[in-house]
């Protein structure tokens, strides 16, 4: 199959707005040949699922196996709206049915071992898969042991909700509903880098918007491990001031920078920092994080004190292990760790491998885009958008100088865009058909 650079760029831009490529990818699976390269994908989130679909579209001879422990896809982007009561868990939960149709083998299992010398992957179910190319798209690993007292027992009460699920996001919503009016919601922000830089600050907005309607005497305390708001600071401050009285004596939001949680006590419901002990009725501590567990199993965590994975930006191949490619949140890059970047880099990696399989060179100057929306209230949102291009001299992906892809202010129109973006990126990632009935709303 031949694909030129213009075709790739058109596909990358256009697929997010249509389900047509999802249908094409499903059809491509009938064109496989037994001699095609074996590609194993671990993780079917925004990066892994997108990669698998697009590689099958562009290199239909490839034999693609996807290994994913979850039975359904649950979106982290938009999950904060569940905490606000705007959406339910089922609204951000979608099937893997169409992805299964697009690939050769979908394995509902967990990877327990990787032999990068023999190029094999073994699962908890006892299956072993050989690979020519291994793609790791496992997201992040949460480091609970970095917070004293945040053991398995405490985790039953204190939810992070940073990997969206019924047990995390759903339970946290139930805790907020059960909280008395006048209660305190204590949440934390881990030190950068972490998954979804604006996510915690959006979470504060969504919890506060719920309190404003249902529990107006309640407060949100933000314990931020960073010295300042890590993303979209002017827009979040404007939203907090406009909707939640920030900066006044009646502020619903109490923001405390340089306050990394050092300990939690689930029995007394206390979060301890270097400066204070904070008591809450509901506690939401997000621990520090690093590249997904699966990258540790593969031995490709080599950057930032062994916490993240360095990659060749042009192919997403690990810099320490050949034929292992890493996508999304696990990588050590200057991209934000977002669903948009994972989706986009999934396509970039698929393109690079399809070119390699065809005996051609990948694009020497690739482009990666990021678009990230955040809700400031129940009805308003804002965004940041950035384009990164490979710079040979700097050996890095860099944004253009003086780029300003950020909203001037929040608006209801941007909330409509946010909802549209979510539906389009879900469809593009999972191959959902045009007739799919989305229920999530902005």
What is the pLDDT confidence band of residue 395, given thresholds at 50, 70 and 90? confident
Is the pLDDT confidence value at 33 over 80?
A: no
Per-residue model confidence as pLDDT tens digits over 98-123: 999 999 999 999 999 999 999 999 99
Give the residue-averaged pLDDT of 3-11: 42
Whether 122 and 211 map to the same domain: the answer is no
From 270, 287, 304, the end of a domain falls on 287
pLDDT at residue 35, as a whole number: 75
Q: Which of 253, 287, 321 finishes a domain?
A: 287
Q: Is residue 437 part of a domain?
A: no
Share of the chain above pLDDT 70, in %: 92
pLDDT for the residue numbered 150? 98
One domain for residues 255 and 178: yes
159 and 227 inside one domain: yes
Residue 243 sits in the same domain as residue 316 = no
Q: Would the pLDDT of 426 be above 80?
A: yes
Average pLDDT over residues 247-260: 97
Q: Is residue 310 situated within a structural domain?
A: yes
Is the pLDDT confidence value at 244 over 60? yes
324 and 421 in a single domain? The answer is yes
Domain for residue 441, yes or no?
Answer: no
Residues 240 and 179 occupy one common structural domain: yes
pLDDT tens for 340-361 read 999 999 999 999 999 999 999 9
In which domain, by residue range, is 101 found?
5-142+290-430
Is the residue at 439 inside a domain?
no
Mean pLDDT of the chain, nearest integer? 92
With respect to residue 75, please indicate whether it lies within any of the assigned structural domains: yes
pTM of the entire predicted model: 0.91
Q: What is the CATH number of the domain that holds 81?
A: 3.50.50.60
Structural domain ending residue among the three candidates 263, 287, 311: 287
One domain, residues 311 and 364: yes
Decide if 438 is inside a domain: no
Average pLDDT for 210-233 = 97
State pLDDT tens for residues 146-162: 999 999 999 999 999 99
The total of structural domains in the chain comes to 2
| 122 domain residue, yes or no | yes
Please give the average per-residue pLDDT across 278-303, as a whole number: 97
Q: What is the 3-state secondary structure (H, E, C) of the chain?
A: CCCCHHHHHHHHHHHCCCCHHHHHHHHHHHHCCCCCCEEEEECCCHHHHHHHHHHHHHCCCCEEEEECCCCEEECCCCCHHHHHCCCCHHHHEEECHHHHHHCCEEECCCEEEEECCCCEEEECCCCEEECCEEEECCCEEECHHHCECCCHHHHCCCCCCCCCCHHHHHHHHHHHHHCCCCCEEEEEECCCCCCCCCHHHHHHHHHHHHHHHHCCCCEEEEEECCCCCCCCHHHHHHHHHHHHCCCCCCCCEEEECCCCCCEEECCCCEEECCCCEEECCEEECCCCEEECHHHHHHCCCCECCCCEECECCCCCEECCCCCEEECHHHECCCCCCCHHHHHHHHHHHHHHHHHHHCCCCCCCCCEEEEEEEEECCCCCEEEEEEEEEEECCCCEEECCCCCCCECCCCEHHHHHHHHHHHHHHHHHHHCCCCCCCCCCCC
> What was the pLDDT predicted at 403?
66
Give yes or no for residue 31 having a pLDDT over 80. Answer: no
Q: Write down the pLDDT at residue 34.
A: 56
């Amino acid at each position: 199959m031949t694909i030129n650079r213009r075709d790739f760029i058109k596909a990358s831009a256009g697929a997010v707005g249509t389900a047509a490529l999802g249908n094409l990818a499903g059809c491509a699976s009938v064109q496989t040949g037994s001699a095609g390269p074996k590609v194993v994908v671990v993780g079917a989130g925004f990066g892994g699922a997108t990669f698998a679909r697009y590689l099958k579209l562009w290199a239909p001879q490839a034999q693609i196996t996807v290994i994913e422990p979850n039975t359904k896809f649950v979106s982290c982007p938009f999950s904060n709206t569940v905490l606000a009561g705007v959406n339910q868990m089922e609204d951000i939960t979608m099937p893997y049915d169409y992805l299964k149709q697009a690939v050769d083998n979908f394995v509902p299992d967990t990877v327990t071992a990787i032999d990068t010398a023999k190029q094999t992957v073994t699962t908890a179910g006892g299956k072993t898969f050989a690979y020519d190319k291994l793609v790791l798209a496992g997201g992040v690993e949460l480091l609970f042991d970095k917070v004293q007292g945040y053991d398995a027992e405490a985790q039953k009460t204190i939810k992070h909700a940073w990997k969206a699920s019924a047990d995390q996001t759903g339970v946290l919503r139930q805790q907020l509903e059960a909280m008395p009016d006048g209660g305190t919601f204590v949440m934390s922000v881990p030190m950068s880098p972490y998954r979804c830089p604006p996510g915690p600050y959006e979470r504060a907005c969504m919890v506060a918007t719920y309190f404003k309607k249902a529990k107006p005497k309640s407060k949100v305390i933000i314990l931020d491990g960073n010295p300042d708001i890590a993303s979209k600071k002017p827009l979040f401050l404007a939203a907090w001031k406009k909707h939640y009285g920030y900066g006044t004596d009646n502020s619903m939001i109490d923001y405390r920078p340089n306050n990394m949680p050092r300990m939690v006590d689930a029995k007394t419901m206390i979060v301890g920092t270097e400066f204070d002990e904070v008591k809450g009725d509901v506690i939401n501590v997000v621990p520090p994080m690093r590249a997904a567990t699966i990258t540790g199993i593969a031995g490709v965590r080599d950057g930032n004190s062994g916490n993240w994975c360095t990659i060749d930006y042009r192919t997403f191949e690990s810099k320490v292990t050949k034929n292992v490619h890493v996508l999304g949140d696990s990588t050590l890059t200057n991209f934000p760790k977002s669903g948009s970047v994972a989706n986009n880099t999934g396509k970039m990696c698929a393109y690079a491998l399809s070119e390699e399989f065809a005996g051609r060179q990948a694009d020497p100057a690739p482009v990666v885009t990021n678009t990230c929306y955040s809700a400031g209230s129940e009805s308003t949102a804002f965004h940041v958008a950035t384009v990164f291009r490979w710079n040979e001299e700097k050996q890095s992906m860099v944004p253009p100088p003086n780029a300003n892809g950020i909203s001037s202010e929040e608006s209801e129109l941007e909330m409509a865009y946010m909802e549209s973006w979510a539906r389009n990126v879900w469809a593009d990632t999972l191959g959902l058909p045009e007739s799919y009935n989305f229920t999530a709303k902005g």
